[in-house]
Amino acid sequence: MEARTGRTARERRARLGLLACAALALVATLASLAVGPVTIPVEHVLAILWRAVGGSAAGAEIGLRETVVVLDIRLPRTLLGLMVGAATATAGAVMQGIFRNPLADPGLIGVSSGAALAAVLWIVLAAPLAAALPLALGSFGLPASAFAGALMVTMVLHVVATRDGRTSVATLLFAGIAFGAMAGAGTGIMLFVASDQQLRDFTFWTFGSLGGATWAKLTAAAPFVLVLLALAPPLARALDALALGEAAAFHVGIDVERVKRLAIAGVAAGAGAAVAAAGVIGFVGLVVPHLLRLLIGPGHRLLLPASALAGGALLLGADLVARTIAAPAELPLGIVTAAIGAPFFLWLLLRRRAELFG
Amino acid sequence: MYEAKEIDYAVPGRLLLEGADLSVRPGRVTALIGPNGAGKSTLLKVLAGELRPRRGRVLVDGRDITALGPARLAQRRAVLPQDVQVAFPFTVAEVAAIGLPPGERAPSRIAEALERVDLAGFRDRPYAALSGGEQQRVQIARALTQLASCAGPGYLLLDEPTSSLDLSHQLMVVDLARQVAREGGGVAAVLHDLNLAAMIADEIVALKNGQIAARGTPAEVLTDAIVADLYAVTARIGSAPPSGPFLLPQAMTRA
């Protein structure tokens, strides 16, 4: 009884917000499957999905072309978008919790660039090695090395920017910019020496794209994203407590070092896999958790799942814009997210200037 | 009993504690006093498990706290640190609820803790919008919430609990600490105000240069000689029979 009567207006609103995020993700998924060069009615999309999972074939007559477009072209792309968006936004929320700072976004502080460099290094240098490996194993090499790159940058950043349990925003951002620039330069050099077959193009790694989504790519990235999505919810209480500082978190029973290790591993896995599959897509990890904190509050128990859902929805929405606005050409996805995210970032800086930089 | 034994604690180039002993007994309030830099807060942090001593052990009811681990230690003691900054826009009730054990939601216990620190109507206010003293009281409520869910009467460690509080709420802290002790809990509090220390404490432990300089009842420790030695002031301590020793700032001069 206590639990029911004790719920505050804020908690009720937070629950509604989580539901709204789920609805948004569903709508974005259907839109992503339905909209494109060939527009397919939503009821056809639903029927095709239903039949694909073994449902009865009764109902409307649906052409083979529509079935192929939905199942072979748009479904992998849509699922990849959901996964990349969920991973990026959740990684952002977790990282912000650990660094106790709303500006800690994997894209902004160089973690994604580190992942991209490691991914490109893998493709260019380890290609002969990968060819020797069994195909199934070789396909995990790319997300695994992106994970390693992300992990390295995150750990170094943590050491550089955190003193006595407090993270200096200025150090974090500047070190992040430096890492991002170094990794970007490294990626540029590798792309310069790489053959066309090894790499599609520079824009993919620096601006990101969901183009070229395949089931193989999806299955290679999925385990890494699942690591993050599985690690995050059990950390919710610890992240709430960490908002009070590392000492206070320890006082209420949090094993701070263990939590930080888990969170950093999860962030690197999720951000790394997202970069390996879709290149560097900025600002999703910054914008989504921040807006959700305004909507449902900062409690991580709801913030983390809501971030995953809304991140997936936002990325699919941005992808929809990227592939329709200049059709038949396709804009790089990261340009769309930057166009939304960069002004938002500026606004965030201006609004919080005083408390961030004193 | 919650005890620190023969604690040495050092930072590079400086020994902050040397052979310091401290016992916090159930049902009693211990006040830690001493000049700035004497090691009071450091000793409290070692007791809390936040700092690892170079030498010495910390035992809670006979068990070494390093063997207990953070989660089980948190079921034995609650801590009010100095100066807590909250990173995200949490409300007052949400900050207080961080003191609850994992998985527990108890709005009535949060409400009760907030009431005890005179913040009954504040539960949905953003923490960041409160004054320093109000924020300190929210943190006290959080520690009380944690203490209430301890297994048996626990221990409460307070690091300068009155530093931002007005006169009336300083007395509130005295009452809260005495109440915790009456209910069987043990309290240790770092205090600068010697009058408050005299009012709150069964025992006063005085530190100077990282060592225990004196310990005993307020009447034993708060003497002209000891206070002069601790703080390098000449003081005339008064005595009011029911409430023990008191100091008038007007009766003091820097030595």
Model ipTM value: 0.94
Tell me: pLDDT of A358 over 60: no
User: Nearest residue on chain B to A246, judged by CA atoms?
Assistant: B50
Q: Confirm or reject contact between A102 and chain B (CB < 8 A).
A: yes
B98 chain-A contacts, CB cut-off 8 A: 240-241, 243-244, 248, 252
With beta carbons under 8 A apart, name residues in chain B contacting A256.
Answer: 70
Strand runs labelled E in B25-114: 29-33, 55-60, 63-64, 77-80
Is A244 in contact with B73 (Cβ distance < 8 A)? no
**CB within 8 Å: A298 and B101:** no
C-alpha to C-alpha distance for B137 and B119, rounded to whole angstroms:
8
The mean of the pLDDT values for chain A is 85
Q: Which two tokens stand for residue A46?
A: 């639903």
Give the confidence band of B174 by pLDDT, cuts at 50, 70, 90.
very high
pLDDT band at B216 (very low <50, low <70, confident <90, very high): very high
Q: Which residue of A has its CA nearest to B128?
A: A355
List strand residue ranges (DSSP E) for B126-172, in order. Answer: 155-159
Q: Does A52 touch chain B (CB under 8 A)?
A: no
Question: B4-24: per-residue pLDDT in tens?
Answer: 999 999 998 899 999 999 999
Residue B192 clears pLDDT 90, i.e. is over it? yes
Three-state DSSP class for B163? coil
A297 and B CB contact within 8 Å: yes
Q: Closest chain A residue to B71 measured between Cα atoms?
A: A253
- Name the pLDDT band for B158 (thresholds 50, 70, 90): very high
And the tokens for B164?
A: 């931002």
**CB atoms A8 and B48 under 8 Å:** no
Region A273-277: mean pLDDT is 89
* Confidence bin at A60 (pLDDT 50/70/90): low
Q: Tell me how close the Cα of B69 comes to any Cα of chain A, in angstroms.
A: 8
Q: What percent of chain A has pLDDT over 70?
A: 88
In total, the C-beta contacts within 8 angstroms joining chain A to chain B are 90
What pLDDT, on a 0 to 100 scale, did the predictor assign at position A5? 45
Please compute the mean of the pLDDT values over residues B248-255 and round it to a whole number. Answer: 81
CB A347 within 8 A of CB A338: no
Average pLDDT of every residue of chain B: 93
Q: What is the mean pLDDT of residues A134-145?
A: 74
Is A15 an interface residue toward B (CB < 8 Å)? Answer: no
Question: Is pLDDT above 90 for B31?
Answer: yes
Averaged pLDDT, A121-132: 74
Nearest residue of A to residue B157 by CA position? A251
Instruction: Out of A6, A102, A243, name the one closest to residue B90 (CB).
Output: A243
- More confident position, B139 or A341: B139
Quote the pLDDT of residue B152: 82
pTM for this predicted structure: 0.89
Nearest CA in chain A to B111: A6
Q: What is the pLDDT of residue A138?
A: 66
Mean pLDDT over B143-153 rounds to: 90
Least confident of A11-25, A134-148, A243-257, B111-125: A134-148
Q: Which of A101-115, A313-327, B125-139, B197-211 has the lowest mean pLDDT?
A: A101-115
Whether residue B99 and residue A248 make contact (CB cut-off 8 A), yes or no, is: no
Residue A3 has pLDDT above 60, yes or no: no
Task: Tell me whether A254 touches chain B (CB under 8 Å).
Answer: yes
* pLDDT of residue A1 exceeding 50: no
* Residue of chain B with shortest Cα separation from A8: B124
Chain B: which residues have CB within 8 Å of chain A? 45, 48-50, 69-75, 78-79, 81, 84-91, 93-95, 98-99, 101-103, 105-108, 123-124, 142, 146
Output the pLDDT for position A147: 87
Mean pLDDT calculated for residue range A142-161: 85
With beta carbons under 8 A apart, name residues in chain A contacting B90: 240, 243, 297-299
CA distance, residue A287 to nearest chain B CA (Å):
15
Per the structure block, which two tokens stand in for B247? Answer: 């100091």
Q: How far is CA A72 from the centre of its chain?
A: 23
The SS3 call for residue B242 is coil
Q: According to the model, what pLDDT value does residue A4 have? A: 43
